[in-house]
Amino acid sequence: MTGTEALAACVVGLGLAFIGVGVLSRFRARTESLAEILDLPYGERDVAVEPVSETRSPLVSDTVELASRMVAQFDARGSLQTRLERARLPIRAGELVIVTLCAGLTLGLLLAAVTDQWLFGVAGLVATPFLAKAYVERRISTRRKAFEEQLPEALSVIASSLSAGHTFLRSIQMMCEESAPPLSEEFQRVVAETRLGGSVVDALDRMAHRLDIKDLVWVVQAIRIQQQVGGRLADLLHTLADFMRAREDIRREVDVLTAEGRISAWVLTALPVLIMLTIQVTNPEYLRPFYQGWGLLVLGLTAASMLTGFFIIRRMVKIEV
């Protein structure tokens, strides 16, 4: 590949990336503006329709709609959109598909231009959906871990408010004012659903299933049982908070003991890829036999063995607490 072709590939790739980022930025700005307006008291100020209405071009709207229909056909249960909500990403499933496709084309063109080998471009294009999935799962894991760390203290605050004579809903509101995201964001959604006429416990139950956190499911079940049999809800929440703190201590100890294995899985998988890319850039002729005949089979078996080892190690160090 000549220098001109490499430059053209980079320009095309960056152009696609900028298009995807621009679409998402515009959508996110519109969503934040709408959320800010909805939080205002009734009649505080007049709002024009244009800033919060859909202002996409027909081409972008049609592309997003087509991608959304394709996702709906292959994902009838809506699991992808559910995971986006858990990760708190302000995009729809169809928009994620478009952004992933643009990023895959960009990465593939850049790798093909840098390494002067189309095989690396195809590998980058194929790997992009897995990288996007890993990014979403990482955000879900980070928010879930942060929520689990904040939950015992939040339950203690709610229990203290109940002991002071506040109602359950008012106690949750006070806790939201003192807590940080992501816990405050999720409980504020519970308060908003309750203001629309729903039950507090039902809103908590929906939040527990939306976040898929076992500790929160236990809290909701305990509150439902307390409502049926009676008793002091504040004492129950204090007991649950102490139990969760003990589980959190064990969870942190497990994370420390398995940290070496988790890091080893990533290092052992990424190191051969980085070495191969380095050799391809510095001395392309050295790896040329791998791109023809039996060399392709060897590369395929090597990639399969690396992925197998990665998942085996990850499985060994994954301990549920």
Do 103 and 6 belong to one domain? yes
Domain count, the chain: 3
Using 50, 70 and 90 to split pLDDT, how confident is the model at 52?
Answer: very low
Q: Are 219 and 154 in contact (CB under 8 A)?
A: no
pLDDT digits (tens, 9 = 90+) for 263-281: 999 999 999 989 988 898 8
**Residue 176 within any structural domain of the chain:** yes
Report the distance separating Cα 111 and Cα 126, nearest Å. Answer: 12
Do 157 and 55 belong to one domain? no
**Residue 137 within any structural domain of the chain:** no
- By residue range, what is the domain housing residue 74? 1-116
**Residue 125 within any structural domain of the chain:** no
pLDDT digits (tens, 9 = 90+) for 79-108: 888 888 888 888 888 888 888 888 888 888
Do 112 and 1 belong to one domain? yes
Do 22 and 85 belong to one domain? yes
Q: Are 185 and 207 in contact (CB under 8 A)?
A: no
Look up residue 59 and give its two tokens. 């081409």
Between 48 and 239, residue with greater pLDDT: 239
CATH number for the domain that contains residue 190: 1.20.81.30
- Whether the pLDDT of residue 4 is over 80: the answer is no
- Whether the pLDDT of residue 248 is over 50: the answer is yes
pLDDT digits (tens, 9 = 90+) for 118-145: 888 888 888 898 999 999 999 998 998 8
Do 163 and 243 belong to one domain? yes
Query: Minimum mean pLDDT among 11-15, 92-96, 254-258: which range?
Result: 11-15
- Whether the pLDDT of residue 54 is over 70: the answer is no
Do 266 and 220 belong to one domain? no
Q: Which of 193, 227, 248 is the last residue in one of the domains?
A: 248
pLDDT at position 48: 56
pLDDT at position 312: 93
pLDDT digits (tens, 9 = 90+) for 147-193: 988 999 999 999 999 998 888 889 999 999 888 888 888 899 899 88
Mean pLDDT of 9-17: 56
pLDDT at position 35: 57
Do 25 and 94 belong to one domain? yes
Do 267 and 237 belong to one domain? no
Percent of the chain with pLDDT over 70: 80
Do 10 and 103 belong to one domain? yes
Do 199 and 154 belong to one domain? yes
Q: Are 96 and 78 in contact (CB under 8 A)?
A: no
Q: Which of 230, 248, 266 is the last residue in one of the domains?
A: 248
Cβ density class 225-262: b for 16+ within 10 Å, e for less: ebeeeeeebbebbbebbeebeeebeebeeeeeeeeeee
**Residue 295 within any structural domain of the chain:** yes
**Residue 268 within any structural domain of the chain:** yes
Report the distance separating Cα 19 and Cα 99, nearest Å. Answer: 9
**Residue 136 within any structural domain of the chain:** no
Do 99 and 53 belong to one domain? yes
**Residue 126 within any structural domain of the chain:** no
Between 123 and 71, residue with greater pLDDT: 123
Q: Which of 248, 283, 307 is the last residue in one of the domains?
A: 248
- Whether the pLDDT of residue 222 is over 70: the answer is yes
Do 235 and 148 belong to one domain? yes
**Residue 202 within any structural domain of the chain:** yes
